[in-house]
Amino acid sequence: MLSVFLSLPAFCFAGTDSNAGLKVSTASYKDIALNVTHTLGGVVPATQDSKISAQISAIINSFQVDTGYEVRKDDLLVSLDCRENRLKLQQAEASLKAEMVQLSHAITQFNQAKQLDKQGNISKELYNQREAEENRLKAMVENRKAASALARINVQRCQIKAPFDGYITHRHASVGELTQPGTPLLQLVSKTNSIVEVKINNRLLNSFTQGINHRFVFDNQSYPLTIEYILPVLDTTTRNHITRLSFVNKQATTGSVGKVVWQDAEPSIPAAYLVYRDKKYGVLITEKNSDTLRAKFIEIKNASEGQPARLTLDAETQIITNGRFNVKHGDVLQITNK
């Protein structure tokens, strides 16, 4: 048996020849690199979310809208009993007319006093009295005009109208109630908003600002976004930066709560291809040296186990994929995927 063993041909041991190099598979960096995706909660806040309130004291006559109604700017929302305010307007306008009649008479008398003064036929005291009376009545007329304008405004306030397009989300009062200035009647939320708000912590801030493909995901739909601004100060409660992005075209519904998603602008090596050598994380690539293909270890600073790591390499750089756990820096390699 021994003689038979020694007579075996030498080619039976070719697979154990160390000069052939370690067998590995590789892939170009461009084929395995990825742009890491990040996700944070985002919301589409209402541009306007207002309590529509009474500005005068009056009885509520009727509501033209209710919860769930869609309204447009200047649509009538609530009618108040305006009889008292109309009477006040009539009084103000009547007082204004009376003062204007008196002013007209005072102007005529003062004009006469001017003529008499030129002729020297009026005392200085009487001249001053007529001048003062004209000035007093001019001031009174201005006062009555202001009172009349205010009364007219209060009449207009009996008809409460929508200040912007939106939806009625709540009714706070009922017909027959007595309102006071500031009494909330309806809740009106603006119809659309082009802004998405998100809070970013310092760890993700650079990735967010330099990232690509920002979008808002809600109800299985994706809406492209662009960054509007990032507040340079931290929120005192959450220690985050408040950031606002705007919709590029189509907008999500006001009040939508979804996700803001973006990708790193720089590619990363997937965590599966990281190796640990000499207490350092990095990646193994192939490098040709004097016609010999060898392994080269490239350290990636700040890399963590189980996490993709940012890495700047030429797109055609060959990354060792299969067999990498048995390879160390400087080993001779044999590529099996070519």
Domains, the chain, with CATH or none: 19-34+268-335 (2.40.420), 37-47+192-263 (2.40.30.170), 53-188 (2.40.50.100)
Check pLDDT > 60 for residue 231. yes
Check pLDDT > 70 for residue 3. no
**190-201 pLDDT tens trace:** 887 889 999 998
Check pLDDT > 80 for residue 307. yes
Higher pLDDT, 193 or 243: 243
pLDDT-based confidence at 232, cuts 50/70/90? confident
- What's residue 19's pLDDT? 57
Query: Measuring CA to CA, which residue among 12, 25, 10 is closest to residue 327?
Result: 25
- List the helix and strand counts (H, then E) for the chain: 5, 23
**267-283 pLDDT tens trace:** 999 999 999 999 999 99
Which percentage of the chain shows pLDDT scores above 90?
A: 75
Assign 46 to helix, strand or coil: coil
Check pLDDT > 60 for residue 161. yes
Angle at 265 (CA atoms; ends 264, 270), nearest 5 degrees: 55
- Rounded to two decimals, the pTM is 0.60
- What's residue 254's pLDDT? 84
Contacts 24+ apart (CB under 8 A), 242-246: 242/197, 242/199, 243/197, 243/198, 243/199, 243/200, 243/208, 244/195, 244/196, 244/197, 244/198, 245/42, 245/195, 245/196, 245/198, 245/214, 245/216, 246/194, 246/195, 246/196
Mean pLDDT within 81-107: 96
172, 185 contact by CB (below 8 A)? yes
- What's residue 290's pLDDT? 80
pLDDT-based confidence at 187, cuts 50/70/90? very high
Higher pLDDT, 133 or 17: 133
Mean pLDDT within 127-151: 96
- What's residue 337's pLDDT? 76
- What's residue 225's pLDDT? 96
**37-64 pLDDT tens trace:** 999 999 998 888 899 999 999 999 999 9
Alpha-carbon dihedral 157, 158, 161, 163, rounded to 10 degrees: 20
Output the average pLDDT for the chain. Answer: 89
What is the Cα–Cα distance from 305 to 337, expressed in whole angstroms? 27
CA dist 107 → 104, 127, 138, 282, 311 (Å): 5, 12, 9, 97, 90
The half-sphere exposure of 113 on its side-chain side, counting CA atoms within 13 A, is: 18
- What's residue 6's pLDDT? 34
